Amino acid sequence: MVEIGKNSIVIIDTGVCNLTSVYQAIRRLTDEVIASDDPKVITQAEKVVLPGVGAAQSGMQSITNKALIETIQQLTQPVLGICLGMQLLTQTSEESSNNSPVKGLGLIPTKIEHLETQGQPLPHMGWNQLSNMKHPIFDGIANNAFVYFVHSYGAPISDYTIASSDYGNKFSAAIAKDNFIGLQFHPEKSGKTGEAILNNFLNLRIEQ
């Protein structure tokens, strides 16, 4: 087992997505970051990042194959899901190769739906603006700051929305419940704004 310090950030290595960009972005902020798929290492981390690029079905399949579902569900430290990682924190996703929705980790009570864009191109790809931010992870971030999105599915606005964005319709740019936070955009690709958001996550304290 990898020895890790008490203050470590662990990026969950789901095996389906590329960790390089997330790793590099956090590495620019702290030395204490590793990638791992070992449940013990993940459980001991001070903070956990669940990255994700790709489809919901393969994402859940990979977490299932690595027997990490319960490990993630039982985490009490701050957990940050990014893009597909955010989507996996919810109850279900419509993004499925058959017609039945993909079951998620069920940690944030919302669901992932196909984006309704009023005819604008999909995927929703590029820099879009954040508004209605209400979570310490956005401390110091200006209203209407731009961050980088790449997705065709998303979470509707709900009680768990902590930031919204607009692409034809408003949708959740970020969601949270208790220690679980999900960002639909890619902070690791969002320039200085993304770096500030990641830094806020590293400094976050969740009241137990």
Catalytically active residues are: 83, 186, 188
Residue 73: how many CB atoms within 10 A of its CB?
12
Q: Give the whole-angstrom CA distance, residue 195 versus residue 201.
A: 10
Q: Which stretch binds other proteins (CB under 8 A): 67-75, 100-108, 148-156, 176-184?
A: 148-156
Task: Please identify which residue in 7, 18, 64, 203 interacts with other proteins, judged by CB under 8 A.
Answer: 18
CB neighbours of 175 closer than 8 A, spacing ≥ 6? 86, 89, 90, 108, 110, 155, 158, 160, 161, 162, 181, 182
Residues numbered 165 to 184 that lie near other proteins (CB under 8 A) are: 166-167
The answer to whether residue 128 forms part of the interface with other proteins (CB under 8 A) is yes
Distance of CA 19 to the CA centre of its chain: 13
Stretch that binds other proteins, among 40-48, 63-71, 122-130, 169-177 (CB under 8 A): 122-130
CA dist 40 and 200 (Å) reads 25
Q: Work out how close the CB of 176 gets to other proteins at its nearest, in angstroms, rounded to a whole number.
A: 23
CA distance between the termini of the chain:
28
The correct pick among 21, 77, 132, 200 for binding other proteins (CB under 8 A) is: 21
Among 71, 137, 194, 201, binds other proteins (CB under 8 A): 194
CB of 73 to other proteins, least distance (A): 25
C-alpha to C-alpha distance for 130 and 54, rounded to whole angstroms? 23
SS3 42: helix
Query: Any idea what DSSP says for residue 83?
Result: T
Classify 28 as helix, strand or coil: coil
Name the minimum Å distance from CB 113 to other proteins: 17
Q: Which residue has the tokens 């993940």?
A: 42
Binding piece for other proteins, criterion CB under 8 A, among 36-44, 100-108, 126-134, 199-207: 126-134
Residues in contact with other proteins by CB under 8 A are 18, 20-21, 24-25, 28, 53-55, 120-129, 146, 148, 150-152, 166-167, 186, 188-195
